[in-house]
Each structure stands twice: as structure tokens, then as C-alpha cells.
Structure 1
Amino acid sequence: MASRDDNSVRITTAPTSVADDIAGRQRRYLFSMAVRTACVIGAVAVGAGLLRWILVAGAVLLPYVAVVLANAGQRKDDGFDLRSSGSYRELE
């Protein structure tokens, strides 16, 4: 038989709604792709030199970072553990 603590949900650790989670992922991905676009345009605009290669490296690496950030799930943890207590059995 499962204890009551196994089924307890604290509101501080409740996950966000699916719509809010997807919207947040989309915002992070679109921001990363906007930065990538700026890197590509900047690499063309600055001409030859070290800065161009830094911008090209950013444009090449940002898609990977954007996908990892967009797929990162949000896990909430308030740092507290529920106490096991026999007091709830008195109410049953």
C-alpha cells in the first residue's frame, strides 16, 4: 500500500502548464536563432579577421545550443522533503 507521502503534490513543485512550457521553449529557441542570424550577418559585414571567425563559430554552434535549451525541461524543486508522519492515520 502506498503511503500518503508518495501521492502528495506540493504546489511549489507543480509543473507549469503544457502551453506555458511550449511557449517558453519557443521563446528560448527564437531568441537563440535571432542571435545566430545576427552572427551570420555580422560575419559577412565585418570582413576578414578574427571577429569574423568568432561570429562564424557562434553561427555554427548556436543551433545545437538552441535545441538543447529548447528541449530542457523545467524541474521545480523547493529543496524540502515531506516528513513522514503517522498523524494522518488518526483521521482515517
Structure 2
Amino acid sequence: MVVQSVTSAPESLAEEQAARIRRYLFTMGVRTACFILAAVTATQGAPWWVWGSFSVAAVLLPYIAVVMANAVRPRTAGRTNPVTPIVDHTRQIER
């Protein structure tokens, strides 16, 4: 019989999905910031490579966000061995 240790249990599906959603939302937030910065720097007369860099990032980040959100980490077993209790057969209290 294989004993399942608490430390070797894989991450729950709900926690994994929540982490992927947070990563997606963060990436899309950065994309929104790049889009706004591209518009602001282009209208303020910044060099073309500044607003161009923000524009390229705003275009490429949705693809990166989707790929990262769909990437599921492999479920691996824990790195520790289960701990089994030691049975002590000595009498502690005598009547």
C-alpha cells in the first residue's frame, strides 16, 4: 500500500487554474500599459524606436499571454518521502 504524504500531494487543479488566470491578467495588464504608452509617446514626439517598441510589445503580448495561460505544468510527485509513525509498545500508564 502506498502512503500519500501531505508534502508529496500535487497542486490542486483549482490552485493551478487560479495561478494561470493571474498570470494571464498580469500579462494583459502589461499589454494595456504598453498600448497606452505607445499612444502617448507617439503623440508627444518621442523617437520612433520608443513608441515602436511599445507597439510591438502591445501586439505580441496577447499571444504570449495565451500560450502561458494554456501551458499546464506537469504534475509531479513530491520530493520527500512519507513519514510513518513509530509504534511504541511500552505501557505508559499502569492501573
The TM-score, its normalising length taken from structure 2, stands at: 0.64
Q: Whose Rg is larger?
A: 2
Residue of structure 1 in register with 2:34 after alignment: 39
Structure 2 runs not aligned, ≥5 long: 80-95
Moved over 4 A (4+): 7-13
Matched letter for residue 30 of structure 1 = L
Separation in structure 1 between the aligned mates of residue 28 and residue 77 of structure 2, nearest angstrom: 30
Separation in structure 1 between the aligned mates of residue 23 and residue 72 of structure 2, nearest angstrom: 12
Name whichever structure is richer in helix by fraction: 1
The TM-score, its normalising length taken from structure 1, stands at: 0.66
- For the aligned residue pairs, the C-alpha RMSD in angstroms reads 2.3
Identity across matched positions, percent: 45
Aligned pairs, number? 76
Instruction: Kindly indicate whether structure 1 or structure 2 has the higher relative contact order, using CA contacts under 8 Å at least 6 residues apart.
Output: 2
Instruction: Give the drift of 1:49.
Output: 1.5
Structure 1 runs not aligned, ≥5 long: 80-92
Instruction: Give the drift of 1:8.
Output: 8.2
